[in-house]
A and B are shown apart, each in its own frame.
Chain A
Amino acid sequence: MNKPTPAAGAPAPLNRDIKTIVNAGLKRRHAAERHFRWYGLIAISLGLAFVVLMFANIIGKGYPAFWQTYIQVPIQFDAAVLDPDGKRDPQTLANADYAALVRAGMRQLFPNAQGRLELRALYGLVSSDAAHELHRRVLQTPALIGAEQELWLLASANVDTLVKGNIDRALDESERPIKDNQIEWVNKLQAAGKIEKQFNAILFSNGDSREPEQAGIRGALMGSFYTLLVTFLLSFPIGAATAVYLEEFAPKNRWTDLIEVNINNLAAVPSIVFGLLGLAVFINFFGLPRSAPLVGGLVLSLMTLPVIIIAGRAALTSVPPSIREAALGMGASKLQMVGHHVLPLAMPGMLTGSIIGMARALGESAPLLMIGMVAFIVDVPKSFMDPSTVLPVQIYLWSDLPERAFVERTSAAIMVLLAFMILMNGLAILLRKRFERRW
Chain B
Amino acid sequence: MSTTAIETKVALDQALNLDTAPRKQSSVEVTDYNNRQTVGNITVDNPKMVCRGVNVYYGEKHAIKNVGLDIGANEVIAFIGPSGCGKSTFLRCLNRMNDTIPICRVTGQIRLDSDDIYDKSIDVVQLRARVGMVFQKPNPFPKSIYENVAYGPRIHGMVNDKAELDDLVRASLERAGLIKEVDKRMGEPGTSLSGGQQQRLCIARAIAVNPEVILMDEPCSALDPIATAKIEELIDELRENYTIIIVTHSMQQAARVSQRTAYFHLGDLIEVGDTDQIFTNPKHKLTEDYITGRFG
* Interface, chain A (partner B; CB < 8 A): 252, 320, 322-333, 336, 340-341, 345, 437-439
Contact = CB atoms under 8 A, between A and B. Distances in A.
B57 interface: no
A329 B191 CA distance: 18
B139 A326 contact: yes
A325 B142 CA distance: 13
Contact of B133 (A320, A329, A333, A438): A329
Nearest to A324: B100
Contacts of A323: 139, 141-142
20 contacts: A320-B139, A323-B139, A323-B141, A325-B97, A326-B135, A328-B97, A328-B128, A329-B95, A329-B135, A329-B206, A330-B205, A330-B209, A331-B125, A331-B127, A331-B155, A331-B209, A332-B125, A332-B151, A332-B155, A439-B191
A329 B132 contact: yes
7 closest A-B pairs by beta carbon, nearest first, are A331-B128, A322-B139, A329-B133, A331-B129, A326-B139, A330-B152, A331-B125
B135 A325 contact: yes
A327 B156 CA distance: 12
Contacts of A322: 135, 137, 139
Given A329-B133, A330-B206, A331-B127, 6 more contacts: A322-B135, A322-B137, A326-B139, A328-B128, A331-B124, A438-B142
A437 B133 CA distance: 24
B41 interface: no
Nearest to B133: A329
A323 B202 CA distance: 12
B102 interface: yes
A348 to B, nearest CB: 12
User: In the complex, which of the residues B95, B132, B141 has the most CB atoms of chain A within 10 Å of its own CB atom?
Assistant: B141
Contacts of A329: 95, 97, 128, 132-133, 135, 206
Contacts of B152: 330-331
B142 A439 contact: yes
A342 to B, nearest CB: 11
A437 B192 CA distance: 12
B140 interface: yes
Main secondary structure of the interface of B (DSSP, over half): helix
A329 B151 CA distance: 12
Contacts of A324: 100
B197 to A, nearest CB: 15
Contacts of A326: 135, 139-141, 202, 205
B143 to A, nearest CB: 9
Contacts of B100: 324-325, 328
A330 B151 contact: yes
A252 B102 contact: yes
A325 B139 contact: yes
A330 B211 CA distance: 10
A323 B143 CA distance: 11
A324 to B, nearest CB: 8
Given A437-B142, A438-B191, A330 B155 contact: yes
Nearest to A319: B142
A329 B137 CA distance: 13
B126 interface: yes
A341 B206 CA distance: 17
Contacts of B132: 329-330
A327 B294 CA distance: 39
Contacts of B127: 331
Nearest to B103: A252
Contacts of B137: 322
A330 B102 contact: no
Contact of B128 (A330, A341, A437, A438): A330
A322 B139 CA distance: 6
B192 to A, nearest CB: 10
A57 B205 CA distance: 61
Contacts of A328: 97, 100, 128
B244 to A, nearest CB: 15
B142 A345 contact: yes
B156 A331 contact: yes
B237 to A, nearest CB: 21
Nearest to A438: B191
Contacts of A438: 142, 191
Nearest to A336: B155
A220 B206 CA distance: 57
A397 to B, nearest CB: 49
